Structure 1
Amino acid sequence: MGAVSLFFFFREGIPVSAVSAEVYRLISSPTLPAIPLLTACGYVLAESGASSRLLRFFRSLLGFMPGGLAVIVTVVLALFTTFTGGSGVTIIAVGGLVYPMLRKDGYPEGFSLGLVTAAGSLGLLFPPSLPVILYSVVAGTREHNVPADTLYLGGLVPGTLMILMVAAYAIHKGARLGIPRSAFSPREVLAATGDAKWELALPFFVVGLFASGRTSMVETAAAALAYVVVVECFLTRDLHPLRTLPTALVKSSVLTGAVLILLSAAMGITSYVVDAQLPEALVAWVKGHIHSQVMFLLALNALLLVIGSLVEIYAAIVVLAPLVVPVASAFGVDPIHQGVIFLANLEAGFLCPPFGLNLFLSSSRFGKPLTQVTRNTFPFLLIIAAAVLLITYVPWMSLGVVRALGKS
């Protein structure tokens, strides 16, 4: 990608120093250090026993409901995806734990497989999700500022909607299948709460710091990582600070390095795209063929869904976001609303055949044919796609909280 950008600059006779200038702009971004910090936070959680404790807590709380375990799996996987950034860690690390639980409780193989695959894509809109920060860094321009904190606020209602719609389907399925429910026990709730108290406090800790306005994005990310390390190494003692913690940090550094290299290379192409005035040309072309915001958003959803199924999420963000933002702005779409639409579509793209990332991960993790995973996941894809359409055409979902807090 970096070589491609250099080629274009050479061809146009533009000084290639523009590429290094863009990389410097990336490095000097005040939110960039949050990427390795939050990635490490997610990997430390995934390597610990946090998932087992959270499952026990939510099962004690919601197990009495129809489809209770399926709802619990949806919530827990979404929570882990929030911290792991949709990198596939959720399905690999937590999916192997919850899938046998679903089967043991009597859920059909197809439903269990589809639920784990789909729920592993939820949660990308919540803090401190890495794709939101990445989108903020890449999509922000002089004309269109997209602060990560505002984008997180914009994603609260849409992200919750997607989880609730999947959970509602799980409840319907559990009731129709007559899956046995566990009795509600206040004693078990208290015991499970005590067991998982540190993990349960983490989202409130992060959101509280973030919403207080007293810490920056990077400071919040650093505090979250410090919190997780202290909890998992010294309070729950799931990880040894010298033996197992370094393994988790090394794994996270692999993803971080890949993302930063991708970002650096993509910034060169972005610089060329801007210098060549491609966004302006794209705006003119789109406005010449599409004349309403409704049709533009529909076409955008279709494009992003296809791209999300073909391209890894980080690559899709760094390549497409700089092109999409000015076009959406020309059609009067709020930048925060546009960011939520963009990321929600990429969530759905994880499940979209033929190359959706989660389809391949589940096929590999559970040893099932790709065609079977695709077929089992399709009902969930339809549900998430319906949620994306609601998010797209009801801007209040993305902007209501933002405006209520005076962030718009």
Structure 2
Amino acid sequence: MRLISRVLNKIEFRVASLVFLILAFVPVLEILTRLFFNNGIKGAESYVSHAVIWVAFLAGMIASKEKAHLSLTSGRDLFKGSLAVFSTSLSRILSGGICFGLTFSALSFILIGFDPTQMVGLIPIRFVALIIPLGFMVMGLRFFYIDEKKMVTTPIILITILLGLFLGIPSMTNMLYSLLPDPPLFIDSLSMLYYDFFHYAAYPMIFLLLLSTISGTPIFILLGGLAFFLFSRDWGSLEIIPNEAYNLLTSSSVPAIPLFTLTGFILSESKAGERLVRLFKSLFGGLPGGMAVMAVVVSAFFTTFTGASGVTILAMGGLLSYMLHESGDYKEGFIKGLLTSSGSIGLLFPPSLPIIMYAVMAQISVKDMFLGGLIPGLILVLSLATMGIVASFHKKRNSSFNGSEILPALKDATGEIFLPVLILSGYFGGFFTLVETGAVSVVYSLLLEGLIHRDIKRSDLSRIMQKSLPIIGGILMILAVSKGLSYYLIDAEVPQALTSFVRNSISSKLVFLIILNIILLLTGCLMDIYSAILVVGPLVIPMGELFGIHPVQLGIIFLANLQLGYLTPPVGMNLFLASYRFETPLVEIYKKVFPFLMVLLVMVLLITYVPWFSLAFLGIQG
């Protein structure tokens, strides 16, 4: 059994890596054929958009194997003994059952939603989409494994399978109606029984699902389960959930998310960080606070590309911490606070993945959102850099500026410095689409770090893929299922109801913005930024329109507050990651981060209440 599992794991990983490379190189080939032959590759966009589905679900399967799906685990230690066993079992039963229910709804969606003659190039579209139910099924099965050597007990397995079969009743009914000319009469009765049950049981099931998050239920299960139970209560079509996942993953901008994420991992796994540190140290190291400026700029650079601030803390925290210690300018507590806070400030710079995702959700220009984030992002960087400069004033400096180191350091880091220039000029200059820009960044990074600097060997690609795929799978699975929940909220007219409530309760734009700041900070503290964009975003946008807030400004306010939520006690994600990375008690991290949190909060309020910062590059006064 273990041998079969290992073989399947290898096949799964290699297929995921192959599809990922196709995703990266097809857009580059498209650029080259367009450049030299004035004609692109026929159907390239369709191949790329459908390759993302395979990357998403294969990476999601790998994330399940690695236990890497993002979850709200802050309260896991609240339960002890038999209560802990019960809560963990509940989490596994609901997670597996929901995955199996989504498997049936995805199979039904493929059967009903696609014509057998539809093709993606030369491949039948039903075959391409088959990865959706396969992915949900494998992820469900992996909730049976405690680790590679141990499975959960047989009763838990049986209860989970029975729950999955029960949740699949409406979808199985729809499949039978589409396959059989005259299905058995009891099928309708079974389906009626299912919906009658959920008319009363939906909210208790939702309560159990929310309770299970304390024991580590992944966020994608929470969002997918909420959508599943709410649609079931209102007699909705459960096929909408995989349908919305398919629509989102095949949208024109989404392929850029895994591509830029992979770029970030290539850079973080090479010695790019060391070269950038050397360069900025040569530029700023002899100045008061220069090493802090270096740390903030390097952190922002890596967060911009990975889209995951925690990756910056984990990948660069050790090196930057060492460099700051060596400077002798800062105490250990200040260093931990600075690096933890710097881990999220790059999310407002292009090619930030949250900005791309928000623009897709809000149906506004990605370019406008990129432009809108430049000044606010710079404000946040400068605020932390200024804190570093002020904190160094009391130190007597032993080193002076040494210009002889700049040119050698610049020569070594030219490739990394040129990457943002290539991205910005290629995309804003209209030479590349957003997805092509992401593909170019992957290929450029591979050539730079593999052939020129030779930091990355061919054998290292497998290691980079193993690190990046679980992160990518976690992000894309959250995006995929949260779109279904977003659809339900819009269909149930929740945004309209909230807008009506706000219209009747709040007359001042200033008061609305204050309340919005508070809500978004709490949201950023409790939810990851990607699910918050798709679930909370549609609720906030109509209210922003009500008060005449420009869509780009609202987007920057939204993202700036959410990234600050990563630092907000008690459960801001970066606080936990910093505690892990620096081997420091969480309460101590709270204390060290607090001054930086207060400064960043003031800056976020400034961004919120001064529209010019977000709209200046758009030529709008605000």
Query: TM-score, with normalisation over the residues of structure 1?
Result: 0.95
User: Is residue 111 of structure 1 aligned with residue 334 of structure 2?
Assistant: yes
8 A contact 1:126–1:155 mirrored in 2: yes
1:183 to 397, 400, 409: 400
2:272 to 50, 53, 57: 50
Aligned to 2:88: none
Cα separation, 1, equivalents of 2:254 and 2:341? 29
Amino acid aligned to 2:445 = V
Residue by residue over 1:163-194, the C-alpha shift from the partner in whole angstroms, topping out at 9 and shown as x without a partner, is 0111111111111233x263322321001000
Structure 1 segments unaligned to the other structure (5+ residues)? none
Aligned residues: 399
1:282, CA displacement in angstroms? 0.6
Secondary structure class of the residue paired with 1:381: helix
8 A contact 2:242–2:481 mirrored in 1: no
Task: State the structure with more CA Rg.
Answer: 2
Residue by residue over 1:226-265, the C-alpha shift from the partner in whole angstroms, topping out at 9 and shown as x without a partner, is 1111101111111112x11221123212111111111111
Aligned to 1:126: 349
Amino acid aligned to 1:393 = Y
Amino acid aligned to 2:433 = S
Secondary structure class of the residue paired with 2:346: coil
Amino acid aligned to 2:365 = P
Cα separation, 1, equivalents of 2:565 and 2:559? 10
Aligned to 2:389: 171
User: Is residue 264 of structure 1 aligned with residue 480 of structure 2?
Assistant: yes
Aligned to 2:616: 400
| Matching of residues 201-240 of structure 1 within 5 Å | 201-240=418-457
Aligned to 1:149: 367
Cα separation, 1, equivalents of 2:359 and 2:466? 26
2:230 to 1, 4, 8: 8
Cα separation, 1, equivalents of 2:586 and 2:249? 39
Cα separation, 2, equivalents of 1:252 and 1:382? 32
Secondary structure class of the residue paired with 1:177: coil
Cα separation, 2, equivalents of 1:105 and 1:334? 44
1:63, CA displacement in angstroms? 1.3
| Matching of residues 2-401 of structure 1 within 5 Å | 2-106=224-328, 107-138=330-361, 140=362, 145-178=363-396, 180=397, 182-241=399-458, 243-401=459-617
Cα separation, 1, equivalents of 2:576 and 2:381? 22
Amino acid aligned to 2:236 = I
Cα separation, 2, equivalents of 1:386 and 1:70? 20
Cα separation, 1, equivalents of 2:271 and 2:590? 30
8 A contact 2:372–2:556 mirrored in 1: yes
Cα separation, 2, equivalents of 1:129 and 1:365? 24
Cα separation, 2, equivalents of 1:333 and 1:228? 38
Amino acid aligned to 1:156 = L
Cα separation, 2, equivalents of 1:84 and 1:165? 22
1:2, CA displacement in angstroms? 2.0
Residue by residue over 1:196-226, the C-alpha shift from the partner in whole angstroms, topping out at 9 and shown as x without a partner, is 1101111111111111012110001101111
Amino acid aligned to 2:262 = A
Amino acid aligned to 2:609 = Y
Distance 1:177 1:183, change over 3 A: closer
1:18, CA displacement in angstroms? 2.9
8 A contact 1:82–1:124 mirrored in 2: yes
Percentage of pairs with the same residue:
43
Amino acid aligned to 1:331 = F
Cα separation, 2, equivalents of 1:182 and 1:226? 40
8 A contact 2:449–2:456 mirrored in 1: yes
Secondary structure class of the residue paired with 1:59: helix
1:339, CA displacement in angstroms? 0.6
Superposed structure 1 runs of 4+ greater than 4 Å apart = none
8 A contact 1:162–1:384 mirrored in 2: yes
8 A contact 1:99–1:113 mirrored in 2: yes
The structure with higher relative contact order (CA 8 Å, sep 6+) is 1
Cα separation, 2, equivalents of 1:18 and 1:316? 20
Amino acid aligned to 2:578 = S
Amino acid aligned to 1:177 = K
Residue by residue over 1:308-364, the C-alpha shift from the partner in whole angstroms, topping out at 9 and shown as x without a partner, is 112222222222111111111111111100110111111211111101111111111
Cα separation, 1, equivalents of 2:241 and 2:542? 21
Cα separation, 2, equivalents of 1:201 and 1:24? 35
1:147, CA displacement in angstroms? 2.0
Cα separation, 1, equivalents of 2:501 and 2:240? 27
8 A contact 1:66–1:181 mirrored in 2: no
Secondary structure class of the residue paired with 2:350: coil
Amino acid aligned to 2:388 = A
8 A contact 2:259–2:438 mirrored in 1: yes
1:6, CA displacement in angstroms? 2.4
8 A contact 1:44–1:249 mirrored in 2: no
Amino acid aligned to 1:193 = L
Amino acid aligned to 1:227 = Y
Cα separation, 1, equivalents of 2:228 and 2:570? 32
Cα separation, 2, equivalents of 1:57 and 1:188? 8
Secondary structure class of the residue paired with 1:244: helix
Cα separation, 2, equivalents of 1:162 and 1:4? 35
Cα separation, 1, equivalents of 2:308 and 2:242? 29
Amino acid aligned to 2:517 = N
Cα separation, 1, equivalents of 2:533 and 2:491? 19
Cα separation, 1, equivalents of 2:412 and 2:542? 48
Amino acid aligned to 1:117 = T
Amino acid aligned to 2:596 = F
Amino acid aligned to 2:313 = I
